[in-house]
Amino acid sequence: MAVPLLDLKAQYATIRDDVVAAMMRVVDDQTFILGPQVKELEDKVAELSNTKFAIGCASGTDALLLAMKALDIGPGDEVITTPFTFFATAGTIHNVGAKPVFVDIDPDTFNILPQAAAAAVNSRTKAVMPVDLFGQMAAMDAIMTAIQDVPVIEDAAQAIGATREIGGRTVRAGEVATIGTFSFFPSKNLGGYGDGGMMVTQDETLATRLMRLRVHGGLKTYFHDEVGFNSRLDSLQAAVLLAKLPHLEKWSAARRRNAAYYDAAFADMDEVRTPYVDPHNVSIYNQYTIRAKRRDELQAHLKEKGIGHSVYYPLPLHLQPCFKYLEYREGECPESERAAKEVVSLPIYPELTEAQLDEVAGAVRQFYGH
Ligand SMILES: Cc1ncc(COP(=O)(O)O)c(C=O)c1O
């Protein structure tokens, strides 16, 4: 039996009537740009994230870009981040004119090492950008203690609704950062039917600036305090996301159940290292990413068996051709480089059946002769 890496149609089948009705309301009202659905979704995401403000925008990439603009980051500035992440994290730093500074990851969680981030801070540093990779929050407490007053942009594109215990309190993805960012790319736990993104913050001044930056830099039509962008969350996307939001908790819990299923299925194997979740964290498992011996051969075996899989990410960002000008060399972020050679992500989406989970686990076990 073939099992896809992600089956968006399986989820759509369970919510079709609600989503179509929500989309048709926008069409009937013809309120396509910043309609009431956008504000409603912003309020709900702020509530979910324990933040005072949430501001929709066109994508998770733009959310990072706007966040840096709101913090006046530009040429001559440095932003510290991880090289083991989706390209947008560092691409946006480059695109605001700043310099991405890459530091290595914790080999257990794949998230940025707080001490390494702190060691890279200098007078040009304008922000640290941790990523909540694969749905697990970065060690925000340790990072923020280590870097002191430096602003933090938490790239929570993959982690909406993830939590971490900090000082006896349950903190949400995006909550304690200067600005947190989300993506509603269709493959995310809360995915739209196209691109979409959101920024969250506790700071009213930053929230106002972000709202202004997404509409050409002026909140009063045709009056521009600064040069901004056209980066709005579409009302149609907001309507889809509002229809999906009540299911998010349940879907993320189903992903955790699937993860536990695989963890148990691989528990006796030396060849597979199952994902490590810090005991302070609750992951939303946007990906279930193992480290596998003979990874490339395993991939070929999974392909032959029709088991969907993907390597996130095969080449760390400090070694990407486009960042040659930064003059990083192989060996400078050894854990990121090792992870890139060892990781492979398996199907984890909520609608997987037990038979499908068995098929995936069985194919992996079979490859290693178990
Ligand atoms: C870690 C990370 N950052 C940023 C992004 C960019 O989000 P988007 O695709 O919505 O622009 C993504 C998602 O694709 C991501 O996974």
- Print the SS3 string covering 182-195: EECCCCCCCCCCCC
**Which residue shows structure tokens 């349950």?**
170
Could you tell me if the CB of 286 is within 6 A of ligand 1?
Answer: no
DSSP secondary structure letters along 264-285: HHTTT-SSEEPPP--TTEE---
Sequence-ordered list of residues with C-beta below 8 angstroms from that of 367, at least 6 positions apart, any chain: 297, 298, 301, 302
Question: 64 CA distance to ligand 1 centroid (A)?
Answer: 9
- The string of pLDDT tens digits covering residues 171-208 is 999 999 999 999 999 999 999 999 999 999 999 999 99
pLDDT at 263: 98
pLDDT band at 323 (very low <50, low <70, confident <90, very high): very high
CA distances from 232 to 188, 237, 277, 278 (A): 19, 10, 34, 35
Could you tell me if the CB of 61 is within 6 A of ligand 1?
Answer: yes
pLDDT at 31: 96
Could you tell me if the CB of 86 is within 6 A of ligand 1?
Answer: yes
Measure the CA–CA gap between 351 and 356, rounded to whole angstroms.
10
- The string of pLDDT tens digits covering residues 243-281 is 999 999 999 999 999 999 999 999 999 999 999 999 999
Question: 62 CA distance to ligand 1 centroid (A)?
Answer: 9
- Inter-residue contact 31 to 370 (CB < 8 Å): no
Could you tell me if the CB of 129 is within 6 A of ligand 1?
Answer: no
Could you tell me if the CB of 136 is within 6 A of ligand 1?
Answer: no
3-state secondary structure of 199: strand
pLDDT at 135: 98
Q: Which amino acid is at 57?
A: C
Could you tell me if the CB of 287 is within 6 A of ligand 1?
Answer: no
Which contiguous run of DSSP H or E holds residue 164? strand 163-166
Of ligand 1's listed atoms, the one at least distance from the Cα of 92 is: 4
For residue 247, give the nearest of 155, 158, 350 by alpha carbon: 350
Measure the CA–CA gap between 322 and 314, rounded to whole angstroms.
15
Question: 60 CA distance to ligand 1 centroid (A)?
Answer: 5
CA distances from 337 to 61, 106, 269, 271, 328 (A): 24, 12, 23, 19, 12
Mutate to test the pocket of ligand 1, among 158, 195, 241, 345 (most ligand atoms within 8 A of CB): 158
Q: Which amino acid is at 56?
A: G
Number of helices followed by number of strands (H, E) in the chain: 12, 13
How does the average pLDDT of the chain come out, rounded?
98
Average of pLDDT values for 53-73?
A: 98
The total of other beta-carbon atoms located within 10 Å of residue 231's CB is 21
Could you tell me if the CB of 88 is within 6 A of ligand 1?
Answer: yes
* CA triple 58-62-67, angle to 5 deg: 125
pLDDT at 183: 99
pLDDT at 107: 98
What percent of the residues of the chain are helix, what percent strand, and what percent coil, each to the nearest 5?
Answer: 40, 15, 40
Question: 67 CA distance to ligand 1 centroid (A)?
Answer: 14
Of ligand 1's listed atoms, the one at least distance from the Cα of 286 is: 16
Q: Which amino acid is at 74?
A: G
Could you tell me if the CB of 158 is within 6 A of ligand 1?
Answer: yes
pLDDT at 276: 98
Residue 160 burial by Cβ neighbours in a 10 Å radius (0-12, 13-18, 19+): buried
Measure the CA–CA gap between 334 and 106, rounded to whole angstroms.
10
Mutate to test the pocket of ligand 1, among 57, 61, 182 (most ligand atoms within 8 A of CB): 61
pLDDT at 292: 98
**Which residue shows structure tokens 């509603």?**
184
Note the Cα 352 to chain centre separation in Å.
21
pLDDT band at 125 (very low <50, low <70, confident <90, very high): very high
**Which residue shows structure tokens 């009063």?**
220
Could you tell me if the CB of 59 is within 6 A of ligand 1?
Answer: yes
Note the Cα 359 to chain centre separation in Å.
27
Residue 310 burial by Cβ neighbours in a 10 Å radius (0-12, 13-18, 19+): middle
Write down the pTM of the prediction: 0.98
